[in-house]
Chain A
Amino acid sequence: NAGVTQTPKFQVLKTGQSMTLQCAQDMNHNSMYWYRQDPGMGLRLIYYSASEGTTDKGEVPNGYNVSRLNKREFSLRLESAAPSQTSVYFCASSSGATRQYFGPGTRLTVT
């Protein structure tokens, strides 16, 4: 089992460019999440999906969109990147009321 995988691992964007971060899990979990982690801070929830076909906003959704493509995959899109979106992005999944399993992260720099 690979667990939670994320691509890419690193990305540099110019302001205004767009990109999609990919996340997949092979644990048959219903719930998936996107977080961002800024230096010296805890994680903040961007969006989550409690099941295939549903998505909801978290604490910091502005500037992002998500797609729950199927039960395995949950993508995060930045339509017009801004320097304030420079961060490490983590995807996670869970089966509900249990621990969340985190992916390795994507380090994004927006110049």
Chain B
Amino acid sequence: ELKVEQNPLFLSMQEGKNYTIYCNYSTTSDRLYWYRQDPGKSLESLFVLLSNGAVKQEGRLMASLDTKARLSTLHITAAVHDLSATYFCAVDISLNFGNEKLTFGTGTRLTIIP
């Protein structure tokens, strides 16, 4: 059974600081996704990582994937209040494209404080 673990589960950080959220998973996969969810809202896709060594950046967020270590990271640079949300990673172990079955981590609730 695939397990996807995120840490930390809760994170309070000051504006302007840097931090990293970690996503570990228990079986072979080279497809990993990051999503953002604001309270009471739906999920918004942030990054799609489809190979070992993939790195994607948008604004203050950067995601990477190390399939050998079964680890993805979401790095936040110079945090701002607008980044407060819950962040989920999700791993796909399906064999065929177009048939992906995502297993989600439990999420990291990020709060940016002034």
Q: Which A residues are closer than 8 A to B by beta carbons?
A: 30-31, 33, 40-45, 48, 50-51, 58-59, 90, 92, 94-105
Contact = CB atoms under 8 A, between A and B. Distances in A.
A102 B43 contact: yes
A59 to B, nearest CB: 7
Interface of B is mostly: loop
A42 B48 CA distance: 18
A98 B42 contact: no
> Interface size bucket, B side?
20 to 34
Contacts, number: 64
Contacts of B60: none
A85 B8 CA distance: 28
Given A42-B88, A42-B106, A44-B104, A31 B43 contact: no
A58 B101 contact: yes
A48 B31 CA distance: 18
A4 to B, nearest CB: 8
A38 B41 CA distance: 14
